[in-house]
Chain A
């Protein structure tokens, strides 16, 4: 690996460190501007004034803000995110339990977004201004414009209630024993353990929420990919390749698509972050047992530690996705190594 590439990668990682600190500050501020009195919540609904004051001292909420911040940061460093009042477990344990379900949902949604969005974008660019192109563009605009909760309800009504092809909500039927966890991702675990029936059932449950979650992501991948492909196919280097007798498949896939995929990659990073945050809506509609649903039910109960934990996870995820994209950019695009 050459020196400039290493320098580029190090710069990106350092920048991510700065962003991480910002994220920690943000979650702390959010928790402190929340309208509820955390001490009153911790003490319980029937607590009297003295019990609330006792809780305030127990949780260190009577300390000055800088000290509270320090305790929050050092707690985070030890992996302590506080305790959930509703589940009675530590937020860390809860997140470890719910995050794999969300991750699985997002991974499948991203897979759908990429495997449909990229080929449709290429097709649309090759058929520019013909009816195929018009159709895919209408499809893309609707994907960005549809609110996910509404689209989710629509799919539930059609495929679960009216046609009865797929289950309405949940991750697996209550009668089915989930496979013993290996990765925590139900579908992967079922595959690894060779439980085909469970795999099929899990797939039927995850399909609708994954489609709903993938739709905005698919649409923006499609739009960016189409625009970049149109641009690349018009470039002189494509004509040069044609003049050398390079076959059309190689021109489209190697020259045009490789260049068009760079901006598409940036969109993938952003969309991955947004996708995690829209799980809050999608998981609620489909009763999917992930961190989105966990955050919503905790927020309704006024239980703010889990909300902070989920916010932190979603933020971390956003950062990680963009860091990975930045690093990939450095490897893939020779122009970026200059800095």
Chain B
């Protein structure tokens, strides 16, 4: 296993103000994630379900509250930053918004050269070949981020992430800030790079069609937990959790009227008792309302599906 994480938790403490009490918000509430060398796992769920927090936890960019992370078989949970630094070269992150992910004061050449330089490599020559690999011409070297289109900026971010020859790429909605026509080109580029370099992807998205195209495995998150997990074809072709069914039904299709999810996602600071999805679930029973939250068993976390 390239990446193996168990029992990941991240809770934030909110402070008391004149209008509300102090509380604890579980952004990620006990998640297990495994990703094989060269594999591609899609992570789907609505906004606020903890997908991006999970990505940051896995890369040790924010401190974890509980859990354990193994990267390349090595426990990195408590590794000090200095010891983690060489490993950072092999796990990289692509942000959703490429405009915010590039320092506006640095030229394309400086942006791509920085990771090489801090890991002690000579950036000369490498930068241009990295740009060529992501489909950007060499005369982009001396341009600044504001002179590039959204798609071009995302290509620069990809080139920067590839500079250190990573094994794992975590992509946090890499195409959702881009125009639809550009999305397809960037996805194609990513698929090509993955095939050539044998990269493993953790692909975060709320677009099920994109996940189906890019990934072999998929995990569906709801309120900080994984509620269903398995091969893409099985989960998206034959969803067993009512939330996955609702997600699929929300994708507009001709002549289809599936399960409709009602209401808003609950406040993570005060999650409902029992199964966290029960207030919005059409098939909820007594056990769902009062029992403990269902554990993920055989790829699904639902009292009724087991």
A interface residue numbers (CB < 8 A to B): 235-237, 239-248, 250, 255, 258-259, 332-335
Contacts and interface: CB of A to CB of B under 8 A. Distances in A.
Contacts of B104: 259, 333-335
Interface residues of B, number: 30
B118 interface: yes
Nearest to B89: A245
B118 A236 contact: no
A239 B91 CA distance: 13
B61 A259 contact: no
B27 to A, nearest CB: 16
B244 to A, nearest CB: 30
Q: Which of B91, B92, B103, B146 lies at the interface centre, i.e. has the most chain A CB atoms within 10 A of its CB?
A: B103
Contact of A241 (B59, B105, B114, B157): B114
Interface in B78-98: 81, 84-86, 88-89, 91-93, 95, 97
B115 A237 contact: no
Contacts of A246: 114-115, 118
Closest 7 CB pairs of A and B: A245-B88, A245-B85, A334-B144, A236-B100, A244-B115, A236-B101, A237-B103
A334 B108 CA distance: 12
A120 B282 CA distance: 56
B118 to A, nearest CB: 5
A256 to B, nearest CB: 9
A259 B103 contact: yes
Q: Which of B92, B100, B160 lies at the interface centre, i.e. has the most chain A CB atoms within 10 A of its CB?
A: B100
B102 interface: yes
Contacts of B115: 244-246
A243 B84 contact: no
Contact of A243 (B92, B100, B103, B107): B92
21 contacts: A235-B100, A236-B101, A237-B100, A237-B103, A239-B61, A239-B101, A240-B93, A240-B157, A242-B61, A243-B91, A243-B93, A244-B114, A245-B84, A245-B86, A245-B115, A246-B114, A255-B103, A333-B105, A334-B105, A334-B107, A335-B146
B29 interface: no
Interface string B128-160: 000000000000000010100000000001001
Contact of B119 (A245, A255, A332): A245
Given A239-B61, A244-B114, A259-B105, A334 B100 contact: no
Contact of B88 (A237, A243, A250, A332): A243
A236 B105 contact: no
B301 to A, nearest CB: 30
B164 interface: yes
Contacts of A335: 104, 144, 146
Nearest to A239: B61
Nearest to B97: A236
A258 B105 contact: yes
A250 B104 CA distance: 16
Query: Interface of chain A, helix or strand or loop or mixed?
Result: helix
Contact of B102 (A237, A243, A258): A237
Given A244-B164, A246-B118, A239 B105 contact: no
Nearest to B88: A245
A55 B81 CA distance: 81
B265 to A, nearest CB: 24
B53 to A, nearest CB: 12
Nearest to B157: A240
Nearest to B118: A246
A253 B102 CA distance: 16
Interface string B247-266: 00000000000000000000
Contacts of A244: 88-89, 92, 114-115, 118-119, 160, 164
Given A245-B85, A246-B118, A332-B105, A240 B146 contact: no
A244 B61 CA distance: 10
Contact of A239 (B89, B95, B164): B95
Contacts of A247: 118
Given A236-B100, A335-B144, A243 B105 contact: no
Nearest to A334: B144
A260 to B, nearest CB: 11
Contacts of B61: 239, 242-243
A247 B118 CA distance: 9
A172 to B, nearest CB: 44
Interface in B145-180: 146, 157, 160, 164
A145 B81 CA distance: 43
Contacts of B100: 235-237
Nearest to B99: A236
Nearest to B98: A236
Contacts of B56: 239
A201 to B, nearest CB: 44
Interface string B183-218: 000000000000000000000000000000000000
A153 B275 CA distance: 68
Contact of B93 (A239, A248, A332, A334): A239
A164 to B, nearest CB: 47
A225 B235 CA distance: 50
